Amino acid sequence: MNRLSELISSIEESRTVAVSSLAKRLKAEGKNVLNFGAGEPDFNTPDFIKEAAIKAIQNNFTTYTPNEGYPDLLKAVIKKFKDENDLDFKPENILVSNGVKHSLYNILMAICNPGDEVIFQSPYWVSYPEMTKLVKGKSVIIDAGVEKEYKILPADLEKAITPKTKVFIFNTPSNPTGVVYSKDEILAFAEVFKNKEIFIISDEIYEKIIFDGEKHFAIGSVDYLKDKTITVNGVSKAYAMTGWRIGYAGGPKEIIKLARNLQSHSTSNAASISQAASYAALTQPTDEINKMVEEFRQRRDFIVAELNKTKGIKCPLPKGAFYVFYDVSSYYGKHVNGFEIKDSTSFCNYLLNEQNVGLVPGIAFGNDNCVRMSYACSQSQIEEGLERIYKALVRFH
């Protein structure tokens, strides 16, 4: 008999977290490390949100709330979904959890049985395959590399669907690629699911971090998908609130009921103070998001232009989120001082060892030709980082 759980033993450590931890360790050892692995905005949580949290503490809003979230927050989430995404929900359709990660896990647990197939595309967000393992499902991954600008097509989805397909996880804007699917592209995906008993989980956490006049469109607003789609979103990225841990899901009430039940026995309600802060975030007007997005856009333009000047790098222009995901495979098989770049992991190790630059290997996202670089950091860090990357790579030219 195994002493430890075989299921949990099969789960990989999050590689994005692993890179950050390694970069922090090297920094603590005195190395001048520039870490581009971060998956969180480098802005502070806006003051009005912090003040709402302080007030919540002072007003003793510090006890358990209803498991699914306190009623005013549920109302605010319903209004957000209606006003911004054209989604119609009642309180029984909503669950507030400890971050979008938790929302996703609760929902997958609520719908999946062992052997169910879970479709998503690669490059994917690191947790989709691991969560699929946790629910004893089977990942069915549709590859879309740099040559396809990381986009899948409706025909790819058709091909991936089998009688065992339970759910399609859809993420736009995407982590790690920054791809944004247009309304027309999403409507074409919707057609694929018409009259099929397949759920869609739509992960819309980067909804507000979107550039060049692109518009976010929620697949759950398509009429015939309303009773099949669970939309998840949260405050982490849009309001620079990653540490507050609030995410929420809106979907069919029988699914939400099971997810609530699971949450009630595992974590109970999300932190009351964070809920009060999130209520402020969702209900008070603010231009902080626009400022942050504009700053991200400027950094993106700079970083993409510079990377594409570097020989051997192919970097498509991301339309959302705060990452660039670029192809470095032309360096594979090259040697310097006895070190061979074989894959995305050795590429990242080389940069970390040679120039103290932390990137995330694309293999973490299912694409070993690429690496992910976050630009949620200062312009000066970006400039220095790009210079160091260039210095490390020029030795191969």
Ligand X SMILES: Cc1ncc(COP(=O)(O)O)c(C=O)c1O
Beta carbon of residue 174, minimum distance to ligand X (angstroms, whole number): 7
- 236 near ligand X, judged by CB under 6 A: yes
User: Smallest distance from the beta carbon of 171 to ligand X, in angstroms?
Assistant: 5
- What is the nearest approach in angstroms of ligand X to the Cβ of residue 364? 12
Show the binding pattern over residues 1-30: x = contacts ligand X (CB under 6 A), - = does not: ------------------------------
Rounded Cα distance, 129 and 308, in Å: 31
**Using the rule CB under 6 A, is 247 a contact of ligand X?**
yes
* Collapsed DSSP state (helix, strand, coil) of residue 202: strand
Only segment of 30-38, 234-242, 335-343, 351-359 that touches ligand X (CB under 6 A)? 234-242
Looking at beta carbons, which residue is closest to ligand X? 99
How is residue 314 annotated by DSSP?
Answer: B
∠ CA 199-255-257, rounded to 5°: 170
Find out whether 114 and 282 touch, Cβ atoms under 8 Å. Answer: no
Is the CB of residue 344 less than 8 Å from the CB of residue 371? Answer: yes
Cα 261 to Cα 246: distance, rounded to the nearest angstrom: 18
Per-residue x/- mask for ligand X, residues 28 to 67, rule CB under 6 A?
-----------x----------------------------
Question: Measured between alpha carbons, how far is 193 from 291 in angstroms, rounded to an integer?
Answer: 37
Q: Which residues, 6+ apart, have CB-to-CB distance to 125 below 8 Å?
A: 171, 174, 175, 176, 203, 365
Residue with smaller CB distance to ligand X, 235 or 313: 235
Q: Considering the rule CB under 6 A, would residue 216 count as an interface residue with ligand X?
A: no
In whole angstroms, the minimum distance from the beta carbon of 124 to ligand X comes to 9
Q: Is 205 in the site for ligand X (CB under 6 A)?
A: yes
Nearest approach in angstroms of CB 242 to ligand X is 5
- Would you say 242 or 346 has its CB closer to ligand X? 242
CB of 235 to ligand X, least distance (A): 7
Concatenate the DSSP letters of all residues of 8-31 into one string.
HHTSPPPHHHHHHHHHHHHHHTT-
**CA-to-CA separations, 203 to 103, 148, 380, 382, in angstroms, rounded:** 10, 21, 32, 28
Contacts of 231 (CB under 8 A, 6+ apart): 81, 85, 87, 202, 204, 218, 219, 220, 249, 250, 251
CB 234 within 8 A of CB 243: no
Q: In the set 203, 306, 327, 368, which binds ligand X (CB under 6 A)?
A: 203
DSSP string, 63-91: S---TT--HHHHHHHHHHHHHHH-----G
Minimum distance between the CB of residue 205 and ligand X, rounded to whole angstroms? Answer: 5
Q: Could you tell me if 201 and 169 are in contact, meaning their C-beta atoms sit under 8 angstroms apart? A: yes
- Cβ 69 to ligand X shortest distance, Å: 14
Number of residues that bind ligand X (CB under 6 A): 13
Q: β-strand 117-122 against 94-97: which pairing, if any?
A: unpaired
Pick from 46, 123, 129, 234: which binds ligand X (CB under 6 A)?
234
Token pair in block for residue 68: 């699914």
Q: Is 385 among the residues that bind ligand X (CB under 6 A)?
A: no
By the rule CB under 6 A, 367 interacts with ligand X: no
Residue 320 is a binding residue for ligand X (CB under 6 A): no
> 70 or 125, CB closer to ligand X?
125
Residues in contact with ligand X, shown as a per-residue x/- string from 91 to 120 under the rule CB under 6 A: --------xxx-------------------
User: Looking up tokens 């986009």, which residue turns up?
Assistant: 151
The 279-308 contact track toward ligand X, x by CB under 6 A, reads ------------------------------
Nearer to ligand X, 34 or 96 (CB): 96
The DSSP result for 105-155, as a single string, is HHHHHHH--TT-EEEEEES--THHHHHHHHTT-EEEEEE--GGGTT---HH
Q: Is 171 in the site for ligand X (CB under 6 A)?
A: yes
Min. distance of Cβ 106 from ligand X in angstroms? 12
CB 247 to ligand X: min, Å = 4
Asked if 256 touches ligand X (CB under 6 A), the answer is: no
Task: List residues near ligand X by CB under 6 A.
Answer: 39, 99-101, 125, 171, 175, 203, 205, 234, 236, 242, 247
